[in-house]
Amino acid sequence: MIRVSSVSLNINGITVRADEGATILTAAQDAGIYIPTLCYCPDVSSIGVCRLCLVRIKGQRRLEPACRTPVEEGIVVVTDDPEIERLRRVILELILSDHDFNCLLCPKSGQCRLQELVNRIGLNEHRFNRLEHVAKDLPIDTSNPFFDFNPNKCVQCTICVRTCHEIVGNDAIDMAYRSYDLRVSTFANKLLKDSACVSCGECMERCPVGALVPKKTEYPTREVKTTCSYCGVGCGLYLGVRGNTIVKARGDDESPVNKGNLCVRGRFGYNFVNSPDRLSLPLMRAYDEYAQPSSVVKVTEEGRPVTLPLVKREGKFVEINWDQAIKYVASSLAHYKGDEIAAISSARCTNEENYLFQKFTRAVLKTNNIDHCARL
Amino acid sequence: MDKSISIQSTEDYGINSAESLRLLRESLIAGEQTTGKVVSVCCGSGCMSSGSEHVRAAFVRGIKDQELEDEITVKKTGCHGFCERGPIVIVGPEKIFYQHVTKEDVPEIISETLIENRVVERLLYEDPVTGQKCFHENDIPFYQKQRRIVLKNCGIIDPTSIEDYIKVDGFQALAKILSQMTPEGVIEEIKLSGLRGRGGAGFPAGIKWETARNAPGEEKYIICNGDEGDPGAFMDRSVMEGDPYSVMEGMMIAGYAVGASQGIIYVRAEYPLAVHHLSTAIAQATDLGLLGHDIMGSGFNFEIKIVKGAGAFVCGEETALIASIEGRSGRPKPKPPFPAIQGLWGKPTVINNVETLANVSRIALNGGKWYSEIGTPTDKGTKIFSLVGKVQNVGLVEVEMGTTLREIIFDIGGGIPGGKRFKAVQTGGPSGGCIPEELLDLPVGYESLAKAGSIIGSGGMLVMDEDTCIVNIARYFLDFAQNESCGQCTPCRLGTKQMFKILRDITRGDGKPGDIEILLELSDAVKQASICGLGMTVPNPVISTIRYFRKEYEEHILERRCRALVCRSLIFYRIKPYRCKACMKCLEACPVGAIIGAKWQVHEIDQSKCIKCGTCMKVCPKRFNAVECVTGRIEGLGDKSE
Ligand SMILES: Cc1cc2nc3c(=O)[nH]c(=O)nc-3n(C[C@H](O)[C@H](O)[C@H](O)COP(=O)(O)O)c2cc1C
Ligand code: SF4
Ligand code: SF4
Ligand code: SF4
Ligand code: SF4
Ligand code: SF4
Ligand code: FES
Ligand code: FES
Which chain A residue's Cα is nearest to B512?
A: A130
| Cα(B218)–Cα(B208) distance, integer angstroms | 17
Closest C-alpha to B182, from B303, B17, B298, B350? B298
| Cα(B224)–Cα(B357) distance, integer angstroms | 8
The confidence score (pLDDT) of residue B229 equals: 87
Cβ–Cβ contact B515 with A under 8 A:
yes
Q: CA distances (Å), A218 to each of A248, B291, B572, in order?
A: 7, 68, 61
Please work out whether the CB of residue B538 comes within 6 Å of at least one atom of ligand 5. no
E strand or H helix at A284, and its extent? strand A283-284
The confidence score (pLDDT) of residue B573 equals: 95
Closest C-alpha to A205, from A244, A179, A240? A240
Q: B336: cis peptide before it, omega within 30°?
A: yes
| Total Cβ atoms within 10 A of residue B636 | 8
Which residue type sits at A373? C
The confidence score (pLDDT) of residue A141 equals: 97
Residue-averaged pLDDT of chain B: 92
Which residue type sits at B338? F
Q: Are B561 and B453 in contact (CB under 8 A)?
A: no
Q: CB-CB: which of A51, A130, A178 is closest to B529?
A: A51
Q: Give B249-301 pLDDT, tens digit per residue.
A: 999 999 999 999 999 999 999 999 999 999 999 999 999 999 999 999 999 99
Whole-prediction pTM value? Answer: 0.88
Please work out whether the CB of residue A200 comes within 6 Å of at least one atom of ligand 3. yes
CATH T-level fold of B382-465: Ubiquitin-like (UB roll) (3.10.20)
Cβ contact, residue pair A91, B491, below 8 Å: yes
Atom of ligand 1 nearest to the CA of B201: 19
Q: Are strands B133-134 and B125-126 parallel, antiparallel or unpaired?
A: antiparallel
| Cα(B241)–Cα(B280) distance, integer angstroms | 11
Return the C-alpha torsion angle B343, B347, B350, B351, nearest 10.
Answer: -30
Categorize the per-residue pLDDT at A375 as very low, low, confident or very high, splitting at 50, 70 and 90.
Answer: low
User: Mutation test of ligand 5: which of B317, B534, B540 has the most ligand atoms closer than 8 Å to its C-beta?
Assistant: B534
User: Same topology for domains B35-140 and B162-372, yes or no?
Assistant: no
ipTM of the complex, rounded to two decimals: 0.87
Closest C-alpha to A311, from A303, A300, A319? A319
| Cα(A213)–Cα(A207) distance, integer angstroms | 8
Residues 6+ apart with CB under 8 A from B442: B404, B405, B435, B448, B449, B452
Region B611-639 average pLDDT: 88
Please work out whether the CB of residue A39 comes within 6 Å of at least one atom of ligand 7. yes
Q: Which CATH architecture has domain B470-559?
A: Up-down Bundle (1.20)
CA of B103 to the centre of ligand 5 (A): 48
Which residue type sits at B409? I
| Total Cβ atoms within 10 A of residue B206 | 22
Q: Which of A39-43, A232-236, B110-114 ranks highest by mean pLDDT?
A: A39-43
Q: CB-CB: which of B485, B502, B530 is closest to A179?
A: B485
Cβ contact, residue pair B312, A178, below 8 Å: yes
E strand or H helix at B542, and its extent? helix B540-554
The confidence score (pLDDT) of residue A27 equals: 97
| Cα(B22)–Cα(B314) distance, integer angstroms | 43
User: Mutation test of ligand 8: which of B40, B75, B80 has the most ligand atoms closer than 8 Å to its C-beta?
Assistant: B80
Which residue type sits at B546? I
Q: CB-CB: which of B314, B329, B490 is closest to A51?
A: B490
The confidence score (pLDDT) of residue B324 equals: 94
Categorize the per-residue pLDDT at A304 as very low, low, confident or very high, splitting at 50, 70 and 90.
Answer: very low
The confidence score (pLDDT) of residue B638 equals: 59
Residue-averaged pLDDT of chain A: 88
Categorize the per-residue pLDDT at B92 as very low, low, confident or very high, splitting at 50, 70 and 90.
Answer: confident
Q: Give B439-460 pLDDT, tens digit per residue.
A: 999 999 999 999 999 999 889 9
Lowest mean pLDDT, pick from A134-138, B33-37, B508-512: B33-37
| Total Cβ atoms within 10 A of residue B69 | 11
Q: Are strands B460-465 and B382-389 parallel, antiparallel or unpaired?
A: parallel
Instruction: Give the helix, strand, coil percentages of chain A, each rounded to 5.
Output: 30, 20, 50
| Cα(B240)–Cα(B267) distance, integer angstroms | 9
Q: CA distances (Å), B402 to each of A151, A212, B325, B387, B425, in order?
A: 51, 56, 36, 16, 16
- pLDDT greater at residue A296 or residue A132: A132
Q: Are strands B460-465 and B422-427 parallel, antiparallel or unpaired?
A: antiparallel
Atom of ligand 8 nearest to the CA of B85: 3
Domain edges within chain B: 35-140, 162-372, 382-465, 470-559, 568-631
CA of A116 to the centre of ligand 3 (A): 25
The confidence score (pLDDT) of residue A289 equals: 47
pLDDT at A311 over 60: no
Closest C-alpha to B475, from B504, B451, B497, B455? B504
| Cα(B375)–Cα(B392) distance, integer angstroms | 25
Q: Give B296-345 pLDDT, tens digit per residue.
A: 999 999 999 999 987 689 999 999 999 999 998 889 998 888 999 999 99
Which chain A residue's Cα is nearest to B513?
A: A130
| Cα(B13)–Cα(A371) distance, integer angstroms | 73
Q: Which residues of B touch A62 (CB under 8 A)?
A: 528
Q: Give B365-409 pLDDT, tens digit per residue.
A: 999 999 999 999 999 999 999 999 999 999 999 999 999 999 999
Q: Give A119-177 pLDDT, tens digit per residue.
A: 999 999 899 999 988 767 899 999 999 999 999 999 999 999 999 999 999 999 999 99
- B568-631 has CATH 3.30.360.10 classification: no
Q: Which residues of A touch B518 (CB under 8 A)?
A: 127, 130
Region A209-234 average pLDDT: 90
Region B481-510 average pLDDT: 95
Cβ contact, residue pair B521, A175, below 8 Å: no
What phi and psi values does residue A329 have, to the nearest 5 degrees? -60, -45
Domains in chain A: ranges and CATH? 7-127 (3.10.20.740), 218-278 (2.20.25.90), 283-375 (no CATH)
DSSP class per residue in B97-142: EE-S--GGGHHHIIIIIIIT----GGGSEE-TTT--EE-SGGGSHH
Residues 6+ apart with CB under 8 A from B632: B555, B559, B560, B561, B570
| Cα(B345)–Cα(B354) distance, integer angstroms | 22
CB environment B40-58: b (16+ within 10 A), e (fewer): bbbbbbbbbebebbbbbeb
Tell the residue nearest (CA) to atom 8 of ligand 5.
B486
Cβ–Cβ contact B529 with A under 8 A:
yes
| Alpha carbon A177 to chain centroid, angstroms | 27
Categorize the per-residue pLDDT at B16 as very low, low, confident or very high, splitting at 50, 70 and 90.
Answer: confident
DSSP class per residue in A112-129: -HHHHHHHHH---HHHHH
What phi and psi values does residue B424 have, to the nearest 5 degrees? -160, 160
Minimum-distance ligand to the CA of B49?
8
The confidence score (pLDDT) of residue B634 equals: 81
Cβ contact, residue pair A178, B485, below 8 Å: yes
Cβ–Cβ contact B249 with A under 8 A:
no
Atom of ligand 5 nearest to the CA of B493: 7
Q: Which residues of A touch B538 (CB under 8 A)?
A: none
The confidence score (pLDDT) of residue A280 equals: 75
Q: Are strands A310-313 and A316-319 parallel, antiparallel or unpaired?
A: antiparallel
Q: CB-CB: which of B482, B502, B529 is closest to A63?
A: B529
The confidence score (pLDDT) of residue A216 equals: 85
The confidence score (pLDDT) of residue A291 equals: 45
CATH T-level fold of B35-140: Glutaredoxin (3.40.30)
pLDDT at B12 over 80: no
Q: Are B74 and B41 in contact (CB under 8 A)?
A: yes
Which chain B residue's Cα is nearest to A96?
A: B494
DSSP class per residue in B395-434: EEEEEETT-BHHIIIIIIS---GGGPPEEEEEESGGG--E
**Measured at the alpha carbon of residue A273, what is the angle toward residues A268 and A275, in degrees to the nearest 5?**
100
**Measured at the alpha carbon of residue B462, what is the angle toward residues B458 and B467, in degrees to the nearest 5?**
165
pLDDT at A306 over 90: no
Q: What is the CA radius of gyration of chain B?
A: 28
The confidence score (pLDDT) of residue A308 equals: 46
Burial class (CB in 10 A: 0-12, 13-18, 19+), B86: buried
The confidence score (pLDDT) of residue B70 equals: 84
Q: Which residues of B touch A86 (CB under 8 A)?
A: 521, 525
CA of B321 to the centre of ligand 5 (A): 13
| Cα(B495)–Cα(A101) distance, integer angstroms | 19
Q: Give A267-289 pLDDT, tens digit per residue.
A: 999 888 888 877 777 877 655 44
CA of B409 to the centre of ligand 4 (A): 50
Q: Which residues of A touch B323 (CB under 8 A)?
A: none
CA of B229 to the centre of ligand 1 (A): 9
- pLDDT greater at residue B511 or residue A308: B511
- Report CA torsion sign: B571, B575, B579, B582: positive
CA of A109 to the centre of ligand 3 (A): 22
Return the C-alpha torsion angle A164, A167, A169, A175, nearest 10.
Answer: 30
Cβ–Cβ contact B284 with A under 8 A:
no
CA of A149 to the centre of ligand 4 (A): 9
| Cα(B246)–Cα(B497) distance, integer angstroms | 40
Q: Which residues of B touch A181 (CB under 8 A)?
A: 487
- Percentage of chain B beyond pLDDT 90 is 82
CATH number of the domain at B162-372, out of 3.40.50.11540, 3.90.800.10, 3.40.50.261, 3.30.2040.10? 3.40.50.11540
| Cα(A159)–Cα(A147) distance, integer angstroms | 16
| Total Cβ atoms within 10 A of residue B12 | 4
DSSP state for residue B459 in the 8-state scheme: -
E strand or H helix at B198, and its extent? none
